[in-house]
């Protein structure tokens, strides 16, 4: 997490309702008018509880990413088969204003973009979240161009095909899959203030897609997450969807303002303690811990015993096994 993101989160936690302009006035007004939701700029409170799924929630982190290349339909499908309550997709923006599933806007780490001579000239050097990086970036490609790339695992996966598997899913692809499989969607807006500076603010794009698909609903619950609190405030100003504020590092002592726009907090598992869970619950905030990567059964049990409400996991099958055995016992 870069300095800018920490400042944004800290600002929201400490300064309350200050709202950055992640959604342009025109976009927000149009969405607000057509949705019948509260007026633009209103940070309305959570008006419905999180969907009644089994607890704790099993959130498939980038899909079943221990077994399949992250953020592919294959990874999401396997997660659903393994019993995930939600499939998690990190979302970044394309040049033509579409949302696609990638953990970051740099493409070379999880695709074969470097092997496409037609895109060689698109390689650029930019500063992302305070870090200078040379790569190919999603915002320089249209969705159609990104669809010509093959997805790759970030690191070699045991048993996975060694060469590119699957393509980059669009948000639309993911929504279609969730509808077909009746599974929840847990959608993270990545570096939203960066995209807003490029006039590609992701919040109205996300809300347009949710609105067009009449989501969330009872069969496809949706949670929106971000490390940037103002982005969640922007979403909730124009659409009634529960949001989860991600917190990097220690959980601040005062969480009293977070419930104004979030239903819960996502916390690094190293920072989760019984006291943190108690404090969050006292503020009516759920606690979702990240990230369980090849964790032991005992590790899950330890966090469940602390009262966490959800776990981001690369291994949904293992998490499901623990939940099942806990219920049986």
Residues in touch with ligand G3P (CB under 6 A): 61, 90, 103, 188, 225, 246, 266, 290-291, 312
Q: State how far the Cα of 194 lies from the Cα of 8, in Å rounded to an integer.
A: 12
> Which CB atom, from 90 or from 314, has the smaller least distance to Ca ion?
90
What is the C-alpha to C-alpha distance for residues 84 and 315, in angstroms, rounded to an integer? Answer: 9
Shorter beta-carbon distance to Ca ion: residue 85 or 188: 188
**Contact present, 3 and 227 (Cβ < 8 Å):** no
Q: How many residues bind Ca ion (CB under 5 A)?
A: 2
Structure-token pair, residue 36? 């019948």
**Contact pattern from residue 73 through residue 102 relative to Ca ion, giving x for each residue in contact according to CB under 5 A and a dash for the rest:** -----------------x------------
Residue 148 binding: pick among ligand G3P, Ca ion, none (C-beta 5-8 Å cut-off by kind): none
Tell me whether residue 300 is exposed, middle or buried, using C-beta atoms within 10 angstroms of its C-beta: 0 to 12, 13 to 18, 19 or more.
buried
User: Would you count residue 309 as binding Ca ion (CB under 5 A)?
Assistant: no
Q: Is the dihedral of CA 68, 71, 75, 80 positive or negative?
A: positive
Cα 248–Cα 267–Cα 50 angle in degrees, nearest 5: 130
Give the distance from CA 283 to its chain's centroid: 22
Q: Which helix (H) or strand (E) holds 172?
A: helix 171-181
Judged by CB under 5 A, the stretch of 27-35, 187-195, 299-307, 320-328 that binds Ca ion is 187-195
Residue 221 CB, nearest distance to ligand G3P (Å)? 16
For residue 193, what is the enclosing H or E element? Answer: helix 192-197
CA separation for the pair 136, 25 (Å, rounded): 30
CB of 4 to Ca ion, least distance (A): 18
**Cβ distance to Ca ion smaller for residue 31 or 91:** 91
Out of Ca ion, ligand G3P, none, which partner does residue 266 contact, by CB within 5 to 8 A per kind?
ligand G3P
Q: Which of ligand G3P, Ca ion, none interacts with 246 (beta carbon under 5 to 8 A by kind)?
A: ligand G3P
Indicate which single residue of 188, 286, 309, 317 sits in contact with Ca ion (rule: CB under 5 A): 188
Q: Which does 279 bind (CB under 5 to 8 A by kind): Ca ion, ligand G3P, none?
A: none
Beta strand 99-101 with 86-93: parallel, antiparallel or unpaired? antiparallel
Residues that bind Ca ion (CB under 5 A): 90, 188
């Amino acid at each position: 997490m870069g300095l800018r993101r920490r400042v944004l989160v800290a600002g929201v936690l400490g300064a309350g309702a200050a709202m950055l302009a992640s959604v342009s006035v025109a976009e927000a007004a149009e969405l607000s008018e057509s949705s019948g939701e509260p007026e633009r700029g209103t940070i309305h409170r959570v008006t419905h509880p999180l969907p009644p799924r089994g607890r704790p929630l099993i959130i498939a982190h980038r899909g079943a990413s221990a077994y399949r290349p992250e953020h592919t339909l294959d990874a999401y499908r396997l997660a659903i088969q393994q019993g995930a309550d939600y499939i998690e997709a990190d979302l970044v923006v394309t040049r033509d204003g579409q949302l696609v599933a990638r953990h970051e806007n740099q493409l070379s780490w999880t695709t074969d973009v470097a092997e496409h001579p037609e895109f060689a000239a698109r390689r650029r050097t930019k500063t992302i979240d305070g870090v200078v990086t040379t790569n190919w970036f999603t915002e320089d490609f249209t969705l159609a161009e990104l669809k010509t790339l093959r997805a790759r695992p970030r690191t070699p996966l045991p048993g996975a095909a060694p060469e590119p598997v699957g393509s980059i899913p669009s948000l639309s692809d993911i929504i279609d899959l969730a509808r077909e499989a009746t599974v929840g969607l847990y959608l993270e807006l990545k570096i939203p203030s960066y995209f807003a500076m490029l006039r590609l603010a992701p919040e109205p794009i996300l809300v347009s897609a949710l609105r067009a698909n009449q989501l969330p609903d009872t069969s496809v619950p949706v949670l929106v997450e971000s490390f940037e609190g103002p982005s969640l405030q922007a979403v909730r100003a124009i659409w009634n969807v529960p949001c989860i504020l991600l917190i990097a590092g220690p959980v601040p002592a005062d969480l009293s303002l977070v419930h104004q726009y979030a239903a819960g907090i996502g916390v690094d598992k190293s920072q989760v303690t019984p006291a943190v869970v108690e404090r969050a619950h006292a503020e009516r905030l759920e606690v979702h811990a990240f990230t369980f990567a090849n964790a032991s059964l005992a590790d899950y049990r330890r966090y469940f015993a602390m009262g966490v409400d959800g776990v981001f996991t690369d291994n949904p099958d293992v998490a499901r096994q623990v939940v099942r055995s806990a219920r049986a016992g």
